[in-house]
Amino acid sequence: MGRSNDEHLAKLNTLGIPWEEMTEEQKLQQRREWDKIVSDPKNLQCTCTITGCRNNHNCQQCVTLHRYFDGYPNCLRPLEDVLEAGVPQERRYNMHYKIQSAGGNDKTGLVDPHDPDGSRKRLVQRSDPKDMIERMNAWQKISQDPKNRACRCKNVDCWYHGNCVKCMALHRYFGGFPACDRYIVDMIDDIVDAYWAEQGGRPEA
């Protein structure tokens, strides 16, 4: 894993002891600390503003659909903004490109790979309603396919394994991505590092 994922996992470990070095009592203590966080209703609220989406407030289907297209839910976009701060929009990772362009095969002419929000607006406003319904039906099939919905996290002993709502809430609380989406964070790190290398280094804070 890359820099940002390592930093996130360090924050997640509130006891400051490497997991593999913890006693069973310490692991239980850590799990209970996490459970307090995901038991707080305000941490479980869906923050996505696209309320017309069929997957709004349905964490598992939302995660499944976006992951299928190498993306992540909208509730993680503020975290991406932090990771890519200072990087121009046209150079940033576009988490919507594949889902908007049917996996990179756009036939509408409305999708700009450097403008995800503008692309979405054009698709909604200028696509034939029947085409949009067909697109949403296709997305629904993807998000409801048991093979796509299966939890990919290797930490099968986690209390939230397979529980997208609490998993997302916990990692979001600590400013990071769940395990199934961390490969994207590594790609974002690569993009950010390459951009600042071209600029001769990051500006001083």
What DSSP string describes 111-144? --TT-HHHHHHHHHHHS-HHHHHHHHHHHHHHHH
Give domain status of residue 204, yes or no. no
Give domain status of residue 102, yes or no. yes
Residue 81 CB neighbours (<10 A): 11
Give domain status of residue 9, yes or no. yes
Domains in the chain, number: 1
Give domain status of residue 203, yes or no. no
Non-local (6+) Cβ contacts of 3 within 8 A are 189
Pair 34, 173: CB distance under 8 Å: no
Give domain status of residue 70, yes or no. yes
Residue 23 has what DSSP assignment?
Answer: -
Sign, CA torsion 6/32/24/179: negative
Give domain status of residue 205, yes or no. no
State the pLDDT confidence band at 38, using cuts at 50, 70 and 90: very high
pLDDT score at 174: 97
Give domain status of residue 32, yes or no. yes
User: Identity (one letter) of the amino acid at 51?
Assistant: T
Q: How far is CA 29 from the centre of its chain?
A: 27
Q: For residue 86, with 0-12 CB atoms within 10 Å meaning exposed, 13-18 middle and 19 or more buried, which class applies?
A: exposed
Cα gap 179→165, rounded to integer Å: 14
Average pLDDT over residues 22-41: 97
Cα gap 151→178, rounded to integer Å: 11
Does pLDDT of 29 surpass 70? yes
| Residue 90: domain span | 3-198
Does pLDDT of 198 surpass 70? yes
User: Identity (one letter) of the amino acid at 14?
Assistant: T
Produce one character per residue of 141-172: b if its CB has 16 or more CB atoms within 10 Å, e if not.
ebbeeeebbebeeeeeebebeebbbbbbbbbb
State the pLDDT confidence band at 51, using cuts at 50, 70 and 90: confident
Give domain status of residue 12, yes or no. yes
Pair 34, 8: CB distance under 8 Å: no
140-196 pLDDT, tens per residue? Answer: 999 999 999 999 999 999 999 999 999 999 999 999 999 999 999 999 999 999 999
